Amino acid sequence: ISPVIEYAQLDGRPWFERYQPISNKIASRSGNWQELRDMVRTCNEANVKIYVDIVFNHMTSTLPSGTQGVAGSGADTEHKDYPVVPYTYRNFHNTCEILSYQDPIQVRNCELVGLHDLDHSQSYVRQKIISYLNTLLNLGVAGFRVDAAKHMWPDQLKLIYDQLNNLSMDAGFPAGTRPCIYQEVIDYGGEAIKASDYISLGLVTEFKYGMELSRAFRGKNLLKWLRNFGTAWNLMPSKFALVFIDNHDTQRSGGDILTYKDSRKYKMAVGFMLSWPYGTKRVMSSFDFSSRDQGPPHNPDMTIKEVTTNPNMTCNNGWICEHRWRQIYAMVRFADIVQGTSVEQFWDNGSNQIAYCRGNKGFVAINGDNYNLNQTLLTCLPAGVYCDIISGLKDNNKCTGKSIQVDNNGKAQIYMSILDEDGILAIHVQSKLS
C-alpha cells in the first residue's frame, strides 16, 4: 500500500506528495491509524498480507511557508525543522545536490530532487524510524517496501532492519516470523551503486525485468529469445529479485514500459511474468491518469473517491485495479498451481509465437505475431478437456471461454487468432473439466 506516514499537502495534490513526509504520524488521504489498523485486521483475516511503502530516506523538500501535512502538522522546511517527530537541521546531511551517480557518497548523502536527506548514521534518527516501523508491525503488517533504498548506506539500513520486531502473533503470524523487506534500488547498469549491494538485506527491485519484457511484447525483441529469460539476461539471481512490469514511477516515465493504457500487450507481459519461474512477482494496481503528476481520483473536497466495482469485479470511479482483471487474477492462481515446477518443452515459431509447459501442472501459449497461431503443441497435461483461463472461467464444469482438447499424448491443437481479445492462452490441472 502507498505510504501511510503524514506527508505535506502540495499544490495541485500530485501523487508524489505521499513521498514528502512532514511528521511521523500515521495519517494520509487514505485514512488515519485506526482506519489503517481496521483495514490490516480485515485483510489478515482474509489471508491477505499488507506491505507498506515506507519513506525514511528523507523528509520534505523546502516548501512554501505555512505548508501543512494532511493531518495538520507544520514544519519549517527551509530550516529542516520538523517539530512533530522532532527532527532539527542537525539530524540531516548538509544540503548538496546529486550531480553524479558515479559517486556513491553524493547519491547517499546528498538530496534526491531537493528532498532533505536524513543522516542515518545517527542513532537518534534510526530509533525514530525503528519506532515508526515497529508501530506498523504491531498493527499487523507483514513487511515493507523501502523507498529510495539506493540513496541510503546498506550498513545503516541493516542497523534499522535488525531492530525491527517480529511479525505480530496477535495478527496470526507464527512466532519468530521476520518482516519481508523489499528495497527500491533502480539499477539499469552503468552506475556506482548496484542492486547487488543490497541483496544481503532483503529482496531488491529488478527494474531491468519490466524494461526487457515491455520491449519484447512491444515487438522490439523476439519473444523466442525469452526461452532463457532470467539471469542469462543480466538479471540478478531469482531468489533476490522483486519483479514487475510497471510501477507507479515507471508507468509515468514514458519510454517502452507497458502499462494498463496498452492493455492487450500489458496482459500478455503480466501473464508471462506470472507463468515464468523467476523472482517474487508484484502486480500493479493503478488509478487512471492523463498527466504525469495527476493524483488519485478525488471528490471536490480532495478526499479520495471510493473504489466502486462492476459485476465482473473490475473497478470504476477512476480506478483501474489491474489485479481485478480476469486475465491477471487467473494467472495469479496459475502461478500458485504451478509453483515448484520448471519450464519444459519450450516451443517457438522462430519469431513471436511461443509456448511452454510448467512441469505437468500448466501450459501457456502466447501469440505476439501479427498473424494467427495454429499449431499442434505438447501441453504436458493429462488427456481431457481444459478451460482456457484467459478467455473465460471454468464454471459449473463448463468453459465460459475457449476449451482445449488434450489427447492421450498430451498434445492439443492450439488456435489463437490475432482478432482474439487476448494474445495469451493458459490451462492448468485445475481448469480441467471432470
Residue with cell 539499477: 187
Walk across the sheet containing 5-7 and list its strands: 5-7, 21-28, 31-32
**Domain map (residue ranges) of the chain:** 5-338, 343-431
The string of pLDDT tens digits covering residues 391-424 is 999 999 999 999 999 999 999 999 999 999 999 9
263 vs 322: CA distance, rounded Å: 10
- pLDDT given for residue 73 in this prediction: 98
- pLDDT given for residue 25 in this prediction: 97
Angle at 246 between CA 242 and CA 251, to 5 degrees: 145
pTM beyond 0.95: the answer is yes
The string of pLDDT tens digits covering residues 47-89 is 999 999 999 999 999 999 999 999 999 999 999 999 999 999 9
Residue 271's pLDDT band (cuts 50, 70, 90): very high
The string of pLDDT tens digits covering residues 332-369 is 999 999 999 999 999 999 999 999 999 999 999 999 99
- pLDDT given for residue 411 in this prediction: 98
Residue range 343-431 forms a domain whose CATH class is mainly beta
Residue 282's pLDDT band (cuts 50, 70, 90): very high
Q: Which of 48, 246, 262, 275 is nearest to 141 (CA)?
A: 48
**Mean of the pLDDT values across residues 363-391?**
98
174 vs 152: CA distance, rounded Å: 31
- pLDDT given for residue 351 in this prediction: 98
Query: What's the grid cell of residue 360?
Result: 505437468
Q: CATH topology for 5-338?
A: TIM Barrel (3.20.20)
Residue 254's pLDDT band (cuts 50, 70, 90): confident
The string of pLDDT tens digits covering residues 105-132 is 999 999 999 999 999 999 999 999 999 9
* Same topology between domain 5-338 and domain 343-431: no
Query: What's the grid cell of residue 32?
Result: 488515519
Low-confidence winner among 122-126, 235-239, 268-272, 300-304 (lowest mean pLDDT): 300-304
Q: Could you give the percent of the chain with pLDDT greater than 90? A: 99
Q: Annotated catalytic sites, by residue? A: 147, 184
- pLDDT given for residue 344 in this prediction: 98
Residue 195 has pLDDT above 90, yes or no: yes
**Partners of residue 203 on adjacent β-strands:** 182
172 vs 130: CA distance, rounded Å: 22
- pLDDT given for residue 332 in this prediction: 98
**Mean of the pLDDT values across residues 385-394?**
97
